[in-house]
Amino acid sequence: MTALTAAGGASLLAHGVHWTIVLGGTAGMLALVLPSLLDRFAPRLARYVDPAPRRPRDEHERRVHEVRRHLLAGAPSGVPTATPFFPGTTRHLDEPPERPSYAACLTVPVALAGSLAAAGVHAAVGAAHLSGQPLLGSLFVLCAFAQLAWAAQLLQAPSASVVTLGLVGNAGLVAAWLATRLPVLPLPGSGAEPFGVWDVLAAGWQVAVVVACASLLATGSAATRPAAWRAWRPAARAVLVGSALLLVLTSTSGVPA
């Protein structure tokens, strides 16, 4: 009875993790898409959603943005000066603001999206296996929490060790998955498992994490934090939006886990 209760609690927790990732990814997708849509089709509403638009809509807004830029840089009331008034401000007023790096705008966001999406898959599959195969289901749930924790660490305190752990861990999961699916590498005492929608999606997202981590290590960008969403490259946005849509469609279409 205690084992059944524990399995039921773990299954409920796994379902909660899965749907939290699905709904969170959907919310992130809307947060990315909504400001640009409102800016194009409903400019008045866009002022409330995004009070600091990227492009001035008229001459008045252009002057307001110019005054704000000069004040933030230390110049009084929009009059540029060569020497800022505030200590610690060394950039000249005429210099453009520093743009986020390629890794911050593409590689790290792809790694985050891939890890979160793979965690959502493992949570869903783990919840489905806990009743009939509690050991396998628990392993999937642990993988989901490990991938969530890794994404949080990459977001807050990225480093070479964190990126290396993500590369090795995800590569190991992909290798273990292939060992259970390829006929030439069956597990002892059992035949090769068939390919399924959930496991193929998880493997694809984990391969994306492996490639992103390898790129970060090769370019010396392992300590890079992700840029703000508005600065993400189109490819990174496509990965996030596509991952959220795939999780929603797979979760609501009744595909067996």
- 96-144 pLDDT, tens digit each: 556 789 999 999 999 999 999 999 899 888 877 777 778 888 899 899 9
**Pick the residue with more confidence: 116 or 54?**
116
Instruction: Report pLDDT for 219.
Output: 95
Confidence of residue 10 (pLDDT cuts 50, 70, 90): low
Average pLDDT across the chain, whole number = 75
Instruction: Report pLDDT for 250.
Output: 87
Instruction: Report pLDDT for 175.
Output: 93
> Which letter does DSSP use for residue 187 in this model?
P
Contact 29, 244 (CB under 8 A): yes
Q: Of 39-43, 194-198, 216-220, which range is least confident?
A: 39-43
Contact 105, 233 (CB under 8 A): yes
Closest C-alpha among 132, 146, 151, 193 to residue 24: 151
Instruction: Report pLDDT for 207.
Output: 97
Instruction: Report pLDDT for 45.
Output: 61
Contact 147, 122 (CB under 8 A): yes
